[in-house]
Structure 1
Amino acid sequence: MSACGCDGGGLRPLDEALEELLERVPAPPTVEWLSLDEAHGRVLGTAICAPADVPAWDNSAMDGYALRASDLPIEGGWLPIGGRLIAGDAARQPLAEGCVVRIFTGAALPPGADTVVPQEQCRSEGSGVVLPPLRRGQHVRRRGEEMRAGMPLLEAGQVLRAPEIGLLASLGLGRVPVYRRLRVALISSGNELREPGEPLAPGQIYNANRYCLSAILRGLGLQVQVYPSLPDDLGASRDALSLAAEQCDVLLSSGGVSVGEEDHLKQAISQLGELHLWRLAIQPGKPLAFGSVQGKPWLGLPGNPAAALVTALVVARPFLLCAQGCQAVQAKALQLPAAFRWDKANNRRQYLRARIEDGNVVLHPQQGSAMLLPACWAEGLAVVEQGRTLGVGESVAYLPFSQLLAP
């Protein structure tokens, strides 16, 4: 067991702990090939380069008339219509000298044409059209304007959102290499835990963490394997942890990590692998455990529901996303004015359940580490740094749940 300065009462800065955690992230899972319909939300396993120029040919950005700019007088004038092109047509014949071609958005320009005039700026007259003065090259999408063949487009580790899926489809790529979903074992610890729907005896509570954490993990695109709650029995704990390590890539547990607490979870992990107990300089969520079980990484979160939620979002999330192969794993905070006062500096960084009202960060009046109702009211976390006070109107960091709950 590693003391990490904890035995002396020291609190470990979160950024320092995260840096060490991320240095211990295992290699990402193997790569599998999926259709684009299956790949949304998955993590790209290899870099993608442009297979060809896009657009593949000069084409019209407007419905209108394509022409050779030098065929039109500077002041504009009348030119005969020598053809018609719609999207999907192949422009096989060069543009006849002194003529225009009726053209529609996306259609390839005929050889010789270099300019398009929108139809609303033109007037039909007999067998031709009257055109205004123009600028050579206007309203033309040039070949390779968006990308050139061989150009790097997407990097390994990017999450494939709708825009990336659309881009891959536009390149004609029907299948894409992605990392296999990370398999995360989710384990709760404690004899007092019961499942929703079961009757409670005195001293028992419902296992909120199992469902809250499972929802977070699945929202991050991870594969979750939920195991029965660990009883306060060393042999049963050891057997369950050993099985989870055989079946999954990473183990995540809640409860049983408070400093000085006697429990079989920590003893079982020590016997099966490696155990580090840290006290983080954050609130809620001071107790955190990290180690390995039979070579598989293990993260032990606090048992209090709000503390488990916060540490899952600010500690476990970046570690698990990195293990999934993601590049960008840290949420980016917004800087917004505070609608509250924070008069007493704390020796821990505060993660406060908050939301934005009229452009200002507002706190829920209840911030207890066992309470989930304030998190339901909230839309994010206000972050008050260690040792800082705040006055109304001062800038405070704000982490939206829309970022924290997504990969």
Structure 2
Amino acid sequence: MPSLQSVISCLSDYDPGALPVAQANQIIGEVVEPVRGTEQVALRTAFDRVLAEDVISRLDVPAHDNAAMDGYAFASSELAAGGNVTLTVVGSAFAGAACEQAVARGQAARIMTGAIMPAGCDTVIPQEFVDVDVEGERIRFDAKAVRAGDNRRLRGEDLAIGQPALAAGRILQPADLGLLASLGVAEVKVRRRLRVAFFSTGDELRSIGEPLDAGCVYDSNRYTLHGMLRRLNVDLIDMGVVPDDPAALEAALRSACENADAVITSGGVSVGEADYTKQIMAQLGDVTFWKIAMRPGRPMAFGRIASHGREALLFGLPGNPVAVMVTFYHFVRAALHRQMGAKVAPLPLMRVRSAQAIRKKPGRTEYQRGILAPAPEGGWQVSITGQQGSGVLRSMSEANCFIVLGHEQGMVAAGDEVEVMLFDGLM
């Protein structure tokens, strides 16, 4: 496992005073490694868990050629003459069963969706395209209504024996559970759940239910962190509010480290904060403090801490509520996915028109909170949610996307295209 300092030392352009977002994520990605430990769980309890090993199909799915629609099965050679095709119905096949009668030239079999295709048949004509005589013994249809091989599912078309069904690192979703069930898989091996401890720091913070003294505020960061972490399906350890006291902070960090795989703190890493915060974090492990070239969320600490033989990743986030959420989504989320052993693609960005001018300085990445909506002239447009200060949590609550303004980007004029990252599936 590489040390944080060894990774940083390899970067010739590392600037601790203004680290670009992409470089910060690169450093984190090289340091974080998946936790060890797996468990076998029943399929019904595997939702949102991380698959620990590849699943290889032990079956052909479907197991036989079968009908994709209700209709009549016949040999496609009957279509060669064109015009109207007339066939004699010699039997029927229902879902999960085969036609008992052989189907010869000039014949067809009544077939239902999912039924095994009769020998010699390779095409199904949907029943709505067929004229049937009164006795139901003969059918007639236009040869142009269907093509050879239509409405037939081939054996192994979905999955063939020996074919990879799901890859290790996948976060199992409902369709995946159905796919595993179709293979007869009752249990799967998944990574153990990640344990994440989190707490807020500051003498001015109060928990809900406590009286507010002059100058004090209710701690909102633990609630946003709790919600964001719940989305990742990790085991949570909420350690409450830790006062600005060296002994209390050291005790909290040691306890968190000894009981969790990752520790997230909010507050205490900004310029001007008490020096003991940085000193205690540093004395417990390999921790670097960054000033990231971004807005909001400039100050952040990252590294590993250790206590009594246990190690944990440490993410020291800013104290402002919006900055906590922005840094979590753009640094911590990907790191925790990696630590969970999950292989997750980066969230996609859309390019849409800005409904208004946006002030922006080159040299930092900005994450404005936006509302994406249909534009009057068609397409999509985005507008900011008003005041964008890092303490204005309402700007996150009202938004449905981030407006991502890149490191080198400057001022945005109304009508310019900007990149947005949707909150759907994120928040």
TM-score calculated relative to the size of structure 1: 0.93
Identity of matched residues, %: 37
| Residue 83 of structure 2 is aligned to residue 59 of structure 1 | no
- Structure 1 residues 313, 88: CA separation in 2 closer, same or farther (over 3 Å shift)? same
- Structure 1 residues 8, 54: CA separation in 2 closer, same or farther (over 3 Å shift)? closer
Offset at residue 291 of structure 1 (A):
1.9
| Kept after mapping to 2: 8 A contact 1:256/1:263 | no
Q: Tell me how far apart the structure 2 counterparts of residues 321 and 378 of structure 1 sit (CA, whole Å).
A: 24
The count of corresponding residues between Structure 1 and Structure 2 is 405
Report SS of the residue matched to 1:330: coil
| Kept after mapping to 2: 8 A contact 1:29/1:182 | no
Partner of 2:27: 20
| Residue 416 of structure 2 is aligned to residue 394 of structure 1 | yes
Moved more, 213-222 or 254-263: 254-263
Offset at residue 188 of structure 1 (A):
1.2
- Structure 1 residues 284, 72: CA separation in 2 closer, same or farther (over 3 Å shift)? closer
Partner of 1:68: 75
> Among residues 381, 392, 399, which one is paired with 1:360 in the alignment?
381
Partner of 2:274: 262
| Kept after mapping to 2: 8 A contact 1:189/1:265 | no
> Among residues 134, 155, 166, which one is paired with 1:143 in the alignment?
155
| Residue 114 of structure 2 is aligned to residue 106 of structure 1 | yes
Offset at residue 343 of structure 1 (A):
4.4
* Structure 1 residue runs of 4 or more that deviate by more than 4 Å after TM superposition: 1-9
| Kept after mapping to 2: 8 A contact 1:6/1:277 | no
Offset at residue 204 of structure 1 (A):
1.4
Partner of 1:306: 322
> Among residues 225, 242, 254, which one is paired with 1:230 in the alignment?
242
Moved more, 221-230 or 71-80: 71-80
| Kept after mapping to 2: 8 A contact 1:337/1:394 | yes
TM-score calculated relative to the size of structure 2: 0.89
| Residue 167 of structure 2 is aligned to residue 155 of structure 1 | yes
Matching of residues 171-182 of structure 1 within 5 Å: 171-182=183-194
| Kept after mapping to 1: 8 A contact 2:207/2:241 | no
- Structure 1 residues 99, 23: CA separation in 2 closer, same or farther (over 3 Å shift)? same
> Among residues 320, 340, 365, which one is paired with 2:336 in the alignment?
320
Offset at residue 93 of structure 1 (A):
4.9
| Kept after mapping to 2: 8 A contact 1:182/1:222 | yes
Offset at residue 9 of structure 1 (A):
7.7
Report SS of the residue matched to 1:229: strand
Offset at residue 375 of structure 1 (A):
0.7
| Residue 400 of structure 2 is aligned to residue 379 of structure 1 | yes
| Kept after mapping to 2: 8 A contact 1:259/1:277 | no
Q: Tell me how far apart the structure 2 counterparts of residues 195 and 353 of structure 1 sit (CA, whole Å).
A: 27
Partner of 2:132: 124
Q: Which runs of 5+ in 2 are unaligned?
A: 375-379
Report SS of the residue matched to 2:139: strand
Q: Tell me how far apart the structure 2 counterparts of residues 62 and 56 of structure 1 sit (CA, whole Å).
A: 17
| Kept after mapping to 2: 8 A contact 1:321/1:329 | no
| Residue 350 of structure 2 is aligned to residue 334 of structure 1 | yes
Partner of 2:94: 86
Report SS of the residue matched to 2:344: coil
Offset at residue 13 of structure 1 (A):
0.4
Q: Tell me how far apart the structure 2 counterparts of residues 94 and 198 of structure 1 sit (CA, whole Å).
A: 81
Q: Which amino acid aligns with 2:34?
A: A
Q: Tell me how far apart the structure 1 counterparts of residues 323 and 80 of structure 2 sit (CA, whole Å).
A: 74
| Kept after mapping to 1: 8 A contact 2:90/2:101 | no
Q: Tell me how far apart the structure 1 counterparts of residues 16 and 397 of structure 2 sit (CA, whole Å).
A: 33
Report SS of the residue matched to 1:228: strand
| Residue 64 of structure 2 is aligned to residue 43 of structure 1 | no
Q: Tell me how far apart the structure 2 counterparts of residues 95 and 102 of structure 1 sit (CA, whole Å).
A: 11
Offset at residue 92 of structure 1 (A):
5.2
| Kept after mapping to 1: 8 A contact 2:269/2:301 | yes
Offset at residue 77 of structure 1 (A):
3.6
